[in-house]
Amino acid sequence: MRFELTLLGTNSALPAYGRFPTAQVLNIQEKLYLIDCGEGAQIRMGQFGLRQAKISQAFISHLHGDHIYGLIGWLTSLALINRQEPLDIFAPEGLEEIIRVQLKYTGGLPYSLSFYTIDPSRHSLIFEDKRVAIFSLPLAHRIPASGFLFREKEKARNIRPDCIEAYQIPFQAIPGIKAGNDYQLEDGRLIPNADLTLDPPKPRTYAFCSDTAYHEPLIPLIQGVDLLYHESTFCDDLVDIAAETGHSTARQAATIALKAGVARLVLGHYSSRYPSLEPFLLEARSVFPNTELGVDGASFEVPLQGRG
């Protein structure tokens, strides 16, 4: 029952200091969701042992090159390994044109590729499956850009094994009890569901916020998430450049994390002006202690937790 983020690239704009541009994979219960796809994402997937066949949806935040230039290479590599399963791409308007022009020269794909246009100005549900619901998060960048909120679906209640034994509950009755039914014994006694089951674990949440200036309207949308990735392109020494370019500083990322009451903050999207990342961590932790540096290849797991 994994819920784990792996960072494929953590630099902004151009690759530097061994840091690739933005791309991430979120593993939810062994299904993988791709988030942005900067150049070299497929190389990183190979290096970090991520199984590309398990990805059926990709979510692209905006059309700046450092978030999309790895996409065409990955799509054609999937063709070369003869992928058959359909693939869905969720992105702001324009990406389909960019990809289709290139595919015209590459030739067709052996799998069905669908594009779904997202409106980065709205916070809305853009995709759901049995594991997760995914929402857009309007960001404040130079071009239309959307973050993504991944909210795990509520799981069925857990039936207590000791009750199955004690009440001799037959196999066929279990799905109903997990769904919330009470159980009637042969002698007519009704055992309330609350005595038979335990609360399921809390659904887990991940919010991806890149690229964006300091943007307080995000706070209510990401309130209390288990894991927040918030871009920190600069440190506070360059707060003016951050504002001009539609980016955040580490201090601003940490302030959003603090105000949104998230459990854990991961930084990334560092400017190539910074060879060392230590200043980002120190600056963010002074505001929000539970901050970690995102680095290429790092994974962040959100464990299952009971309801406190």
SS3 track for 43-82 = HHHHHCCCCHHHEEEEECCCCCHHHHCCHHHHHHHHHHCC
Site residues, its own copies (CB under 8 A):
13-16, 18, 20-21, 39-40, 42-43, 46-47, 63-66, 69-70, 72-73, 76-77, 80-81, 94, 97-98, 101-102, 105-106
Nearer to its own copies, 20 or 214 (CB): 20
Beta pairing, strands 132-138 & 125-128 = antiparallel
**Cβ closest to its own copies, residue 13 vs residue 177:** 13
b/e per residue 54-73 (b: at least 16 CB within 10 A): ebebbbbbbbbebbbbbbbb
Cα separation values, 219 from 157, 162, 222, 233, 286, Å: 30, 43, 6, 19, 19
- State the nearest-atom distance from the C-beta of 99 to its own copies, in Å: 10
Tell which residue, 218, 215, 291, 231, has the closest CA to residue 260: 218
Of the two residues 68 and 132, which places its CB atom closer to its own copies in the complex?
68
Give min distance, CB of 232 to its own copies, in A.
Answer: 18
Residue with Cβ nearer its own copies (101 or 282):
101
Of residues 77 and 193, the one with the C-beta less far from its own copies:
77
Contact by Cβ (8 Å): 26, 36 = no
Residues carrying an active site annotation: 66
Percent helix, strand, coil in the chain (nearest 5)? 30, 30, 45
Contact by Cβ (8 Å): 83, 75: no
Q: What is the DSSP letter of 91?
A: E
Instruction: State the minimum distance, in angstroms, from the CB of residue 174 to its own copies.
Output: 46
Q: What is the CA radius of gyration of the chain?
A: 22
Structure tokens at 55: 């990805």
Q: Closest CB to its own copies among 100 and 153?
A: 100
Give the residue carrying structure tokens 């693939």: 87
- 261 HSE (CA, 13 A, CB side): 4
Q: Least CB distance from residue 210 to its own copies, whole Å? A: 17
Question: In terms of CB distance, is 65 or 176 closer to its own copies?
Answer: 65
**In the complex, minimum distance from the CB of residue 90 to its own copies, in angstroms, rounded to a whole number:** 17
**Angle between helices 95-106 and 71-80 in degrees, nearest 10:** 40
Give 147's strand partners.
137
In whole angstroms, the minimum distance from the beta carbon of 97 to its own copies comes to 6
Tell me the closest approach of the beta carbon of residue 226 to its own copies, in angstroms: 32
